[in-house]
Amino acid sequence: MDSYGDLIAADDVLLFVNAAITATGQREFRSDAAEQRLSLDFLHAYLLGNYRDLYAATLALDINDHNAVLIVRNLLENAGEATAAQRRTEGRLIARRLSLLPPQRVYGLFRALRRARVNNRRTRAIVRDWTAARPDPAFDAVKYRSGVRIALRHAHLRPTTDELGPFLFAPRSVARYRTPILETWRRAHYQQSALYELPYTVAEGFAARHGVPRVDFLTRIAPRLTRLEQLRLQGSAHAAGADAVRADLARMPLTRLATYVLALPLDERARRRDELTGALRAAAGRAAGEQRGRWGRVAAVLDDSFSSYGSGTKRRRPLAAALACHYLLEALAGEYTALWTSGRTDPLMARPGGPTPLGRRILDALDTAPQRLLIVSDGWDNAPPGLAGEVLRIWRTRLDPERRVSIVHLNPVYDADDFDVRRLAPGVPTAGLRDAEDLPALVELAQFAEGRTGLAELTAHLDARIDRFLAGTRSTTGPTDREEST
């Protein structure tokens, strides 16, 4: 049986996991960026100092890239405090996580390690192994030139080819490169046609240098755009008249697609209803995978109140998470009921507005006799305040003490003041949420937040996740080598 200390440890780890999933150090609806960063930095320092093994193990969970980088950096900065066994396990977890991160994130990490003067042997080995595993060093040298240069200098590495060294440190000293992409970069300085053979982020600078009209540049660079670049640029390109930039929505990840849809004007959503709904359902079907249609009767309470707008830096992010969850739950359920806090019934027309009557919507959801009830909300129940918590308390203690109905609250917003995501009721587990694709894994993890399991069970769960993570089976995958992450 777990001791009181073990129960506290389990609760601390779950609190950190919720933060590592949701918090990005950016402004939220109710707290600014400085408050977010201060709160998050405290949690990282606390868990690293008290539960180093469990802190490293969270790299195997579906945490966001921002916190994965922070964990790796903290582990390397404090390498002297780890035992030999801990260093071996941490090394494998770090290597696997770095292989899944977008390259610009990893190069940013190496830059931060250099600024912090972290240059121990393990750090140099990690930089060496990661750079050696890159599939196209010349492409990286062109697209992430300063990052590659800093990584090589910091780890005292030699470039993998005889041309990369001159390109990185003295590019004008070579009259002609044998490597095609390096030669294309050289020619782009004086030949406009060459820039269209480069990655978009590099070509954009050359286009400005040559004074190429925006519409012409976007039209000709369109075949070189990555999926996410197509999605980001489609609106501005259309406004500029470059209709050649078209994103293949059917291939987009679910939560990113939901964010894109919510950024469209309502009249455009209505006009493209079939296209957008079809793309969202296709993405949800891929995310559901083998669990599609196996969750029985599901009811969802989805928050589209005013606070779901988020902030200027995370615009409509909470609402995008709720919209993506709606389509994923529709795919997972055998029978599905969706209840939005606004009372609207058309998810494609979702928009932030109004109060948050969570308690009333939860009552409506329970009336449908679901097997599972999912609540996607920031937890600020205010119409009337506290009703949701009281409804859930009475339901759990008097009407359903046997827990025939599984209830999970998924919260996409980190509460800096409480060092956690805001909870609705003690008897209902709450898990942090960033991407809807992680929902099935989060529902599994949420059982540990009910207080009925302790550190031993949580550690066993993390060990199993680590084994799957290191074996290469993970619920989500990182971007391809030439994709970008925002």
Domain locations in the chain as residue ranges: 1-173+454-486, 188-252, 254-434
Write down the H helix ranges in 51-78.
Answer: 52-57, 65-77
pLDDT band of residue 56 (cuts 50, 70, 90) is very high
User: By C-alpha distance, which of 151, 105, 154 is closest to 132?
Assistant: 151
CA distances (Å), 270 to each of 320, 351, 357, in order? 17, 13, 27
pLDDT band of residue 478 (cuts 50, 70, 90) is very low
User: Is the per-residue pLDDT at 449 higher than 80?
Assistant: no
User: By C-alpha distance, which of 471, 441, 475, 421 is closest to 19?
Assistant: 421
Indicate the pTM of the whole model: 0.90
Residues contacting 69, CB < 8 A, separation 6+: 101, 105, 108, 109, 112
Per-residue buried b or exposed e for 422-459, using 16+ beta carbons within 10 Å of the residue's own CB: bbbbebbbbbbbbbbbbbbbbbebbbbbbeebbbeebb
Q: How far apart are CA 56 and CA 72, in angstroms?
A: 8
Write down the H helix ranges in 102-199.
Answer: 103-115, 121-132, 137-143, 145-155, 164-169, 180-187
Higher pLDDT, 403 or 322: 322
Collapsed DSSP state (helix, strand, coil) of residue 423? coil
Q: How far apart are CA 339 and CA 347, in angstroms?
A: 10
pLDDT of 167 reads 95
> In the structure encoding, which two tokens stand for residue 406, read together?
């599984």
pLDDT band of residue 482 (cuts 50, 70, 90) is very low
* pLDDT tens figures, 222-274: 999 998 888 888 877 777 777 777 888 888 999 999 999 999 999 999 999 99
* pLDDT tens figures, 413-430: 999 998 899 999 988 999
Kindly state the average pLDDT of the residues 372-393: 95
pLDDT of 486 reads 34
Contact indicator for 198, 224 with CB cutoff of 8 Å: yes
Beta bridge partners of 410: 376, 431
pLDDT band of residue 451 (cuts 50, 70, 90) is low
Q: Across all residues in the chain, what is the average pLDDT?
A: 91
Please give the radius of gyration of the chain, using alpha carbons only, rounded to the nearest integer: 24
pLDDT of 386 reads 92
pLDDT band of residue 9 (cuts 50, 70, 90) is confident
Q: Which CATH architecture has domain 254-434?
A: 3-Layer(aba) Sandwich (3.40)
pLDDT of 481 reads 38
Higher pLDDT, 92 or 472: 92
pLDDT > 90: percent of the chain: 79
> In the structure encoding, which two tokens stand for residue 458, read together?
């949580």
Contact indicator for 286, 436 with CB cutoff of 8 Å: no
pLDDT of 3 reads 60
* pLDDT tens figures, 140-160: 999 999 999 999 999 999 998
Peptide bond into 370 cis (omega under 30): no
Pairing of strands 406-411, 414-415: unpaired
Contact indicator for 10, 2 with CB cutoff of 8 Å: yes
pLDDT band of residue 477 (cuts 50, 70, 90) is very low
Q: Which helix (H) or strand (E) holds 8?
A: helix 4-22
User: Is the per-residue pLDDT at 378 higher than 70?
Assistant: yes
User: Is the per-residue pLDDT at 476 higher than 60?
Assistant: no
> In the structure encoding, which two tokens stand for residue 78, read together?
């404090």
